[in-house]
Amino acid sequence: MMRTWHITTVTDAARARIDTARLTAAYGVPGLERTRLTTALSAHLRQCLTKGGTWRLSVEATAAPSGDGLLRAVVTSCDEAGADGRPPWHMTVTCPEGADLSDVGPVADDPAILAEALLGADEDTALVLERLGEQEGLVDFHREELHQTNQGVLALHAELDAAGRAQRELFAAERKARTEAESARRRLTFLADASAVLTASLNHDEIVRRLPSLLVPEYARSVDVWLFDGEDGELRQSPRPAAAVVAARSGRPQYAADHPGGLPGVDDQPPSALHPTRPLLCVPLPTRRAPLGVLILTPPGERWDADDAVMLIELTRRASIAIDNARRFEHNRDIAETLQRALLTDLPTTPELRLAARYLPATHGLNIGGDWYDAFRQPDGSLITVIGDVTGHGLHAAVMMSQLRTALRAYAVDGGTPGQLLTRLHILLHHLQPDLYATAVIARFHPDDPTLTWAAAGHPPPVLRTPDGQVHTLDAKPGAMLGIPLRQEIGDHTVRLAPGSTLALYTDGLVERRAHGIDPGIERLAAALGAFRSEDLDTDLDGSADRLLHPLLSDSERDDDVCLLLCHLPNRAAETVRPSPAGLPV
């Protein structure tokens, strides 16, 4: 059952209130609950009329899980006049089941009905007042009992006061010791947690940004990190407090204020001319060579506690170590990335085969590893394309990758198929570095032969897109990883190519994720490559390589480097001659 009233005037509101009161009475709602509902409804309807507009009151009866009934009243706005973004007003009361509603109709203009409603409201109010009187009597009774009890307690307190005074003194001493111990524990905990936050990053700018959020507002009102280098010209020319300059030159913390600081290990200085009304604590950021900068703090209150100052000096020392380590790491990472990119080859430009390559280092850690790609010609005119991955990371893997790349070029001068070249690399790596392994794929294109020859050694399979948009994974039996203690002859595989075909060579960093494995990643790569138009691959292979990487590298962080090499046979006769479908691998 649901009743609805539209309210625009005070008369509409009064009738809706009377109907609601009669409806709740018919449903057997207790008098107190009925009065609470109608009173709250009247107050809200008065607010609605003040706002203006048309309002809708809905009263709906539903069944509760306990078996009783529920009456829910909801007031909502019918237009934009009362739409202020707040949820609709509502109130719910319980009522017994089996109410007779046959005689409950809308309120007419009959004065008798209105008078009856008024008297009914007075009866409900009288009931509320009666209950209120009972509660006031109960409160008076308990107040008297409480007064008598308090008299006895006061007498008892007077007797215990003398004995309690001595005990309170003991408790005060104990509390002081406990408070000091708790403060020391809190500072040590903060110092440990803050140190963990600072050392979690290897980006010195991020560490500097984290310092204020750690200290404000508990230990400082403001935090300024002054680094001696890495700043722009404006910051270098901006004035600094004299105490900060003294801290930078002396390497000792300085306290600038119009009163002595009394802080252990801190020198007192006159108030700062830049901030004469605020005390300043200037703590140098020490390193083994020279300070990195100065941490300039203002106190959260009037001044610092001596123990807090000691803790802040220790935190500054740890922050300095974290910043220095981060800068060293960033410097080494830049060197490593420069070395990595220097080892990657400029791709040859040929009219019969277009190439596009992308190398992306891992998003964290020292960004140097063993991934590489290469493309070069053999003496017979064939074009060799290769992509590989040496196990591990770091400078050792990069050096080994460079040796394998150089050895492959030397072996290719003597000719040989991709399988023969991989076999020779396998023997070289096994004897050169028995504890290091590698994977690789070599694909050979010949300008006068529409056949692709390829071989793989423990590497993810190449993916071939034919001119009609179909994609095939070239997963014919590959060889084992290069360098393992196993004698192997790595075999060749061939597949016929048609103009417009595209071969994708890649490393496992592009397709492998810890949570999903490598197969779903290869399927995503194949689907992304198949979605390209042949015209896009013909006209913009470099742009196609970027668009191919984007959906596959949506992860915020990668644990491995990524290499991608696209080999595309231009479809120069696409406008006049439609090429026959490319064959499947044979």
Residue 473 pairs in a beta bridge with 463
Confirm whether 460 is domain-assigned.
yes
**Are both 218 and 102 inside the same structural domain?**
no
* C-alpha–C-alpha distance, residues 204 and 301, integer Å: 29
Q: What pLDDT does 581 receive?
A: 41
Residue 493 pairs in a beta bridge with 454
> pLDDT tens, 41-96?
888 888 888 888 889 999 888 877 766 788 889 999 887 655 666 788 999 888 87
Q: Could you give the C-alpha distances from 410 to 73, 168, 331, 421, 565, in angstroms and in order? A: 88, 90, 34, 10, 21
* C-alpha–C-alpha distance, residues 331 and 138, integer Å: 79
Structure tokens at 551: 């959906």
Q: Tell me whether residue 176 is exposed, middle or buried, using C-beta atoms within 10 angstroms of its C-beta: 0 to 12, 13 to 18, 19 or more.
A: exposed
Confirm whether 364 is domain-assigned.
yes
Q: What pLDDT does 233 receive?
A: 36
**Are both 448 and 541 inside the same structural domain?**
yes
* C-alpha–C-alpha distance, residues 244 and 169, integer Å: 45
* C-alpha–C-alpha distance, residues 49 and 328, integer Å: 70
Spatial neighbors of 313 by CB under 8 A, at least 6 apart, are: 253, 265, 266, 283
* C-alpha–C-alpha distance, residues 254 and 246, integer Å: 7
**Are both 355 and 322 inside the same structural domain?**
no
CATH code: domain of residue 306: 3.30.450.40
Confirm whether 398 is domain-assigned.
yes
**Are both 356 and 468 inside the same structural domain?**
yes
Confirm whether 578 is domain-assigned.
no
Arithmetic mean of pLDDT, 29-37: 84
> pLDDT tens, 400-414?
888 888 999 999 998
Confirm whether 386 is domain-assigned.
yes
**Are both 324 and 396 inside the same structural domain?**
no
Q: What pLDDT does 273 receive?
A: 86
CA 134 to chain centre: 59
Confirm whether 151 is domain-assigned.
no
Cβ-based neighbour number of residue 445 at 10 Å: 25
Residue with tokens 């069944």: 63
* C-alpha–C-alpha distance, residues 112 and 116, integer Å: 6
Mean pLDDT, all residues of the chain: 83
* C-alpha–C-alpha distance, residues 468 and 466, integer Å: 5
Residue 208, domain extent: 201-337
Q: What pLDDT does 376 receive?
A: 93
CA 59 to chain centre: 45
**Are both 390 and 509 inside the same structural domain?**
yes
The lowest-confidence range among 96-110, 302-316, 341-355 is 96-110
* C-alpha–C-alpha distance, residues 196 and 256, integer Å: 30
Confidence grade of residue 586 (pLDDT, cut at 50, 70, 90): very low
> pLDDT tens, 552-563?
886 545 667 789
How many separate domains does the chain show? 3
Q: What pLDDT does 435 receive?
A: 81
**Are both 319 and 443 inside the same structural domain?**
no
Confirm whether 48 is domain-assigned.
yes
Confirm whether 415 is domain-assigned.
yes
Structure tokens at 385: 């394309």
> pLDDT tens, 519-560?
888 999 999 999 998 888 989 999 999 999 888 886 545 667
**Are both 324 and 366 inside the same structural domain?**
no
Q: Which of these, 52, 42, 40, lies nearest to 18 by C-alpha position?
A: 42
pTM of the model: 0.52
Confidence grade of residue 35 (pLDDT, cut at 50, 70, 90): confident
CATH code: domain of residue 471: 3.60.40.10
**Are both 391 and 488 inside the same structural domain?**
yes
Q: What pLDDT does 557 receive?
A: 53
**Are both 454 and 358 inside the same structural domain?**
yes
The lowest-confidence range among 164-178, 193-207, 361-375 is 361-375
Instruction: Report the sign of the C-alpha dihedral through residues 96, 100, 103, 104, in that order.
Output: positive
**Are both 360 and 319 inside the same structural domain?**
no
Parallel, antiparallel or unpaired: strands 293-298 and 280-285:
antiparallel
Residue 470 has pLDDT above 50, yes or no: yes
Confidence grade of residue 168 (pLDDT, cut at 50, 70, 90): confident
Which percentage of the chain shows pLDDT scores above 70?
85
**Are both 310 and 369 inside the same structural domain?**
no
Arithmetic mean of pLDDT, 17-43: 85
Which of 314, 337, 360 delimits the end of a domain? 337
> pLDDT tens, 212-244?
988 988 888 999 999 987 543 333 456 889 999
Arithmetic mean of pLDDT, 378-394: 87
